[in-house]
């Protein structure tokens, strides 16, 4: 009998101490229990995949689904128990398998084009320097609230033409929604009001754009068509939710956590300042090291799966440990330090296979411009408090700081 597995059954991944630094636990799981049955708030008992090779395989395994509707024997909740708000927001390509995934991705790709992303680069740079101008006047700046959050929030909001007065209220809703995934079931259910407010926000936004179409991403999503097929109203809501959520939440974490990582490894920061051509490589390394997305969205076993001597029952939940895989010492030399020249860097920060992140080019572009502007303008920036005193967000799905106090000058 594997005593470690039995003991870890009630492990709470949302525990404050683990949220502050989950990597020692992940290393232990990789060594001793690579397919561990752990306790996750809201989801309950869940199989956690921690090794790089297994995580990469899980992303591509046809026996593992992202669609709750395919998990008829799931122990968490039958489909009739899932609140309507979650069902609607789940109508996006992240929670679908092929062929439905391919259909949605093809339609979204017609609107979310590489050119549309490239055209935003100049705007990202302008916003970054405007924010730094304002932050520079403060004795202590919170790099999250003053810089890392506004950049991607402004950019994805402008791409979707979200009114300025709605942007921060929307972020507050998404932050509450993500935090609730690290709460108990009862608390999560009481916070369905947050999800319902988001639905109403999306419905109002979509209705306005139908009446007044423009040259924005949301208008393009509404107009996107392939062989007579269009996104339904619920699919539009699900896709806007995904784009707004993924389009700013994860990039906030990349910029803020990336800045912290560079400050914690000053030799690498100096090397990057002296060799700005390394910024592309540095962004890949910071995605690997900081893990803006720590865990995948839940997946479900379509059949009984045998993995490392562990039997995962059909219909059971599986969490794919991206953050653990990106620190796997069998794949990455010295994984708990940054190396901005790391090559090859086969991190899984943007996923793998059919669910590879559609917004990866946007996140890379925003992270590159934001961090380059920051380190160019403030060579003497320093932390305003010890790293161990910083507070990390409660969510188990994304990994990011609540705040990052910095002296820029």
Mean pLDDT of 276-287: 97
Domain count, the chain: 1
Looking up tokens 């669910």, which residue turns up? Answer: 355
Q: Are 66 and 79 in contact (CB under 8 A)?
A: no
Instruction: Compute the radius of gyration of the chain from its Cα atoms.
Output: 21
Question: What are the pLDDT digits (tens) for 308-353?
Answer: 999 999 888 899 999 999 999 999 999 999 999 999 999 999 999 8
Per-residue pLDDT of 125-167, as tens digits, reads 999 999 999 999 999 999 999 999 999 988 988 888 888 888 8
Split at pLDDT 50, 70, 90, the class of 2 is: very low
d(CA 313, CA 46): 11
Note the pLDDT tens digit of each residue in 225-236.
777 888 888 888
* Residue 327: Cβ-neighbour burial (10 angstroms; 0-12, 13-18, 19+): buried
Structural domain that includes position 96: 3-407
Contacts for 323 with CB less than 8 Å, ≥ 6 apart:
22, 23, 26, 291, 294, 295, 399
Q: Which of 102, 260, 76, 267 is nearest to 181 (CA)?
A: 76
pLDDT in tens, 86-111: 667 667 788 888 888 888 888 888 88
Closest CA to 362 of 95, 184, 183, 158: 158
Report the C-alpha gap between 51 and 327 in whole angstroms.
Answer: 9
User: Cα dist. 399→25, 68, 252, 254, 329 in Å?
Assistant: 15, 24, 10, 9, 20
Per-residue confidence (pLDDT) for residue 404, from 0 to 100: 98
* 163-184 average pLDDT score: 70
With cut-offs at 50, 70 and 90, classify the pLDDT of residue 242. Answer: confident
The residue among 114 and 72 whose pLDDT is bigger is: 114
The answer, yes or no, to whether residue 42 has pLDDT greater than 70, is: no
The percent of residues in the chain predicted with pLDDT above 90, rounded, is 53
The pTM of the full predicted model, rounded to 2 decimals, is 0.89
Confidence of residue 290 (pLDDT cuts 50, 70, 90): very high
Is the pLDDT assigned to residue 75 strictly greater than 60? no
Query: What's the pLDDT score for residue 231?
Result: 87
Instruction: Tell me the average pLDDT across 61-72.
Output: 82
Looking up residue 151, the CATH number of its domain turns out to be 1.10.630.10
pLDDT in tens, 349-397: 999 988 888 889 999 999 999 999 999 999 999 999 999 999 998 888 8
pLDDT confidence of residue 197: 81
Tell which wins on pLDDT, 188 or 92: 92
The residue among 110 and 65 whose pLDDT is bigger is 65
pLDDT at residue 85 greater than cutoff 80? no
Predicted confidence at residue 49, as pLDDT, reads 96
Q: Give the pLDDT confidence score for residue 174 in this predicted structure.
A: 72
The pLDDT assigned to 72 comes to: 54
């Amino acid at each position: 009998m594997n005593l470690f597995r039995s003991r870890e059954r009630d492990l709470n991944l949302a525990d404050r101490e683990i949220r502050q630094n989950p990597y020692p636990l992940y290393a232990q799981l990789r060594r001793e229990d690579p397919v561990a049955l752990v306790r996750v708030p809201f989801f309950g008992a869940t199989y956690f995949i921690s090794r790089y090779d297994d995580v990469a395989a899980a992303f591509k395994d046809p026996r593992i689904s992202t669609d709750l509707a395919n998990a008829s024997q799931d122990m968490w909740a039958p489909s009739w128990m899932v609140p309507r708000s979650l069902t609607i927001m789940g109508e996006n390509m992240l929670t679908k398998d092929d062929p439905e995934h391919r259909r949605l991705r093809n339609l979204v790709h017609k609107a979310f084009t590489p050119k549309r992303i490239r055209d935003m680069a100049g705007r990202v740079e302008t916003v970054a320097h405007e924010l730094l101008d304002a932050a520079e006047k403060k004795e202590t700046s919170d790099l999250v609230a003053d810089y890392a959050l506004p950049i991607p929030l402004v950019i994805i909001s402008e791409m979707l033409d979200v009114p300025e007065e709605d942007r921060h209220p929307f972020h507050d809703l998404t932050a509450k929604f993500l935090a609730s995934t690290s709460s108990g079931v009862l608390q999560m259910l009481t916070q369905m009001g947050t999800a319902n407010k988001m639905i109403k926000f999306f419905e109002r936004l979509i209705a306005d754009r139908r009446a007044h179409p423009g040259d924005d991403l949301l208008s393009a999503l509404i107009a996107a068509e392939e062989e007579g097929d269009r996104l339904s109203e619920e699919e539009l809501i699900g896709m806007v939710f995904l784009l707004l959520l993924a389009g700013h939440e994860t990039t906030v974490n990349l910029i803020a956590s990336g800045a912290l990582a560079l400050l914690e490894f000053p030799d690498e920061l100096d090397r990057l300042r002296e060799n700005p051509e390394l910024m592309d490589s540095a962004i890949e390394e910071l995605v690997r090291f900081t893990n803006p997305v720590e865990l995948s969205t839940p997946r479900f076993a379509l059949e009984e799966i045998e993995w490392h001597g562990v039997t995962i029952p059909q219909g059971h939940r599986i969490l794919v440990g991206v953050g653990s895989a990106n620190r796997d010492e069998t794949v990455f030399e010295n994984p708990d330090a940054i190396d901005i020249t790391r090559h090859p860097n086969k991190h899984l920060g943007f996923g793998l296979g059919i669910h590879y992140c559609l917004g990866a080019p946007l996140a890379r572009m925003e992270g590159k411009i934001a961090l380059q502007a920051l380190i160019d303008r403030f060579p003497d920036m320093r932390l305003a408090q010890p790293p161990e005193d910083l507070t990390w967000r409660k969510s188990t799905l994304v990994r990011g700081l609540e705040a990052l106090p910095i002296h820029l000058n």
